[in-house]
A = this chain, B = another copy of it.
Amino acid sequence: MAAETAGPKPGTAAWWLAREDEPARQRRRRSLTLEAILDASMTLLDTGGAAALTMRNLAEALGCTQASLYRHVRNREELVTLLVDRALDVASSAPPEDADWAGKAAWSARLFREHLLRHPGVASLLRGTERLGPNSLAGVQYSLELFIGAGLGPRLASAASSALATFVIGSVHFNLGLDVSDSEESRHRRLLYRSRDASALPLLVEHADVLSEVGSDDVFEAGLTALLTGFRVLIEREGGTRD
């Protein structure tokens, strides 16, 4: 079919980052596809972590040379952008319909976080790049929908949804920082805790046992519910006083 070779379809990753200078022609002539590259990248990420995603490793996994990769991807950064966005298609699964806006927001936030934690490599890629791909935009649209539907004006709704996203991504980063290389890292951390004399940080020493029990799940839940109840209060107040 002619439509088969008419270039990347709207909605696909290739379509989004299509080079502007390049007319929409067919691009694959032989074996190496952008999709194949992304697949191999995801495999590398899931098995070896973010550090394993090098162009050399990628080329070796695909059985090609590094230079060939650059026929399909401008940069490593573009590759990362595409990867992150591909991994962010979580928004497609809809939250339960019977929940109110806060319930839906919490559901989505938890889902998003769990998804990121399940693919730690992708999550650590979120550190470098802040670009917005199509799926990210869909997520923004969705949470905007929620907050506007709840009664916030578009301006406040946008701020609220960005704040929520900021917190979710931030706590994933927080998680990753804790889990990386347990053996050496936590040893060092414990060393720091102990080497300080008790007089300077009394609370830390006094509740050291409790503090070490507080995991990132607790932090996430505490922050999430606090944020949402905060927004709820804001909505009630704004709805009442028309501020």
Query: Which residues of A are interface residues toward B (Cβ below 8 A)?
Result: 10, 16, 20, 127-134, 137-138, 140-141, 144-145, 148, 154-156, 158-160, 162-164, 166-167, 169-171, 173-174, 176-178, 180, 185, 188-189, 191-193, 195-197, 200-204, 207, 210-211, 213-214, 218-223, 225-231, 233-234
CB <8 Å contact, B226 and A158: no
For A225, the chain B residues whose CB sits under 8 A away are 230, 234
From known contacts A16-B192, A155-B210, A213-B155, infer whether A223 and B133 are also in contact, taking CB-CB under 8 Å: no
Residues of B within 8 A of A226 (CB): 160, 163, 226-227, 230-231, 234
**A214 vs B137: C-alpha distance in the bound complex, in angstroms?**
16
CA distance A128 to B203 in the complex (A): 28
Given A154-B211, A163-B219, are A173 and B174 also a contact pair (CB < 8 Å)? no
Measured CA separation A218–B158 after assembly (Å): 9
Most chain B Cβ neighbours within 10 Å, of A155, A191, A213, A234:
A155
Selected contact of A201 from candidates B138, B167, B211, CB within 8 Å: B138
Contacts of A134 in B (CB 8 A): 192, 196
- A233 CA / B232 CA spacing, docked (Å): 11
Contact B167–A207 (Cβ < 8 Å): no
> Top 10 closest A-B pairs, CB basis?
A170-B170, A130-B177, A226-B230, A163-B223, A159-B222, A230-B230, A154-B207, A162-B219, A229-B230, A127-B127
In whole Å, how far is A127's beta carbon from the nearest beta carbon of chain B?
A: 4
A160 / chain B contacts, CB cutoff of 8 Å: 222-223, 226
Q: State A127–B124 Cα separation when bound (angstroms).
A: 9
- In the complex, which residues of chain B have a beta carbon less than 8 angstroms from the beta carbon of A193? 137
**Beyond A131-B188, A162-B222, A229-B233, 18 additional pairs, beta carbon < 8 A:** A20-B191, A130-B177, A133-B192, A137-B196, A148-B203, A154-B210, A154-B211, A155-B214, A158-B207, A159-B218, A159-B221, A159-B222, A159-B223, A163-B222, A166-B173, A167-B170, A169-B173, A227-B230
